[in-house]
Homo-oligomer: A and B are copies of this chain.
Amino acid sequence: MFLRHSWYVAALSSELNERPIARTILGEHVAMYRNFEGRIVALSDTCAHRGYPLSLGTVVGDKLVCGYHGFTYDAEGTCVAVPGQDRVPSRLAVRTYPLVELGVWVWIWMGHDEPEMAKLPETPWLLESEEWAVVSGVAKIDANFGLLVDNLLDLSHETFLHNGSIGTPEVATTPLEVEVDDEIDMVNVYRHMNDVICPPFYSNTTGLEGRIDRWQDIEYFPPGYYKLNSRIAPVNQPPAPDGSDHHAFHVKIFYGLTPSTDTSVYDFWALSRDFCVDDRDIDGFLEKMQSSVVQEDVDALNILQRRINGGQEIAEVSIKIDRGGLSARKMLERLTEEELARQS
């Protein structure tokens, strides 16, 4: 069962143009495009006539024409033209989905009720600005959503799976702290590594060499929004009591976790930094580095899912590093129960 009463990342802003794209989100086929008026539209990717994917159709002005028999839909999903006759069957329409574009990400509301705007995350860092530079991307993982939650909530795996880019020995050896906020439905995982090696991911972008303080503060808002506040600073230069932190470099690493099917999930990501914001070379380096890190996760989770598909039942053993993931699972269970309760 999927949590539907929620916002999920559905597309990168750059993906939406007059050529529709297809995504399967929470098991539903969704077609998305940007029409010639600039409006972004998400509608059921299934023509009401014979079920052909509308994403294979053509955007004509502010409408989408099915590529099989030409049934034509406006931005509200209403069918406004059919072939061979003037009269359109009354009330012929396909479902549309509310979309909100916030910087590099486009969010979709998957609930059948009115979209709850208050639940939409605030993400000013995802808009290009003088303070923040952003790069973004997306990968599809052939694995259950839960495996991606496990992965992101415990960054110990950086040391082993992402060795050579963001992983250093100290990530695995440094204990972490977990805090759960059941009021605003957030799981925090803190890992403050002081006087440690600077991995290539940061040495090549900040110019810091030798040893650093490196903090990883995770904020996970189940089900679909994850923010990692990464602080890289010279050793022994903590933030000032007023919160100012001029010696440090800040990178915010965002993940949009969007279930596709029971065995696949979209892994949207975005990286915002508050330094060298005009440096396109650093953009390119980070984009390449992060894509490669994400691909390592994709490969690992695909392998785990194939094992599960093959019938493997894993008797898990959990240790301290797993407390973040276990807290996230617990919160997801509670949210699921609450959504079920609301429905009945």
Binding site for B on A (CB under 8 A): 29, 46, 48-53, 56, 65-70, 82-85, 89, 92, 150, 154, 156-157, 159-161, 172-176, 300, 303-304, 307, 312, 314-321
Contact B303 A56 (CB under 8 A): yes
A228 to B56, CA, bound (A): 27
Contact B159 A51 (CB under 8 A): no
A175 to B83, CA, bound (A): 9
In the complex with contacts A304-B51, A307-B51, A319-B84, A312-B69 CB distance below 8 A: no
Contact B319 A89 (CB under 8 A): yes
* Contact pick for A156, options B69, B159, B307, CB 8 Å: B69
Contact A68 B300 (CB under 8 A): yes
A312 to B45, CA, bound (A): 11
Q: Please give the distance in Å from A343's CB to the nearest CB on chain B.
A: 21
**27 chain-A/chain-B pairs, Cβ below 8 angstroms:** A29-B312, A46-B307, A48-B315, A50-B150, A50-B314, A50-B316, A51-B304, A51-B307, A51-B312, A53-B303, A56-B303, A65-B160, A68-B157, A69-B154, A69-B160, A69-B321, A70-B172, A83-B159, A83-B172, A83-B173, A83-B319, A83-B321, A84-B156, A84-B172, A84-B173, A84-B174, A84-B321
Contact B320 A68 (CB under 8 A): no
Chain B residue with the shortest CB-CB distance to A67: B160
Q: In the assembly, how many copies of this chain are there?
A: 3
Q: Please give the distance in Å from A245's CB to the nearest CB on chain B.
A: 26
Contact B300 A52 (CB under 8 A): yes
The 9 closest A-B pairs by CB, nearest first: A51-B314, A83-B172, A84-B321, A83-B156, A48-B317, A70-B160, A85-B320, A69-B157, A84-B320
In the complex with contacts A312-B51, A320-B84, A68-B160 CB distance below 8 A: yes
A48 to B319, CA, bound (A): 11
Chain B residue with the shortest CB-CB distance to A53: B303
Residues of B within 8 A of A56 (CB): 303
A318 to B92, CA, bound (A): 11
Q: Please give the distance in Å from A263's CB to the nearest CB on chain B.
A: 12
A320 to B85, CA, bound (A): 7
A119 to B46, CA, bound (A): 39
Residues of B within 8 A of A319 (CB): 49, 82-85, 89
Contact A172 B314 (CB under 8 A): no
Question: Besides the contacts A69-B157, A70-B160, A84-B320, what 6 more A-B pairs have beta carbons closer than 8 Å?
Answer: A46-B307, A48-B317, A49-B318, A51-B316, A52-B303, A53-B303
Residues of B within 8 A of A161 (CB): 67-68
A85 to B319, CA, bound (A): 8
Chain B residue with the shortest CB-CB distance to A65: B160
Q: Please give the distance in Å from A144's CB to the nearest CB on chain B.
A: 13
Q: Please give the distance in Å from A57's CB to the nearest CB on chain B.
A: 8
* Contact pick for A159, options B29, B70, B159, B174, CB 8 Å: B70
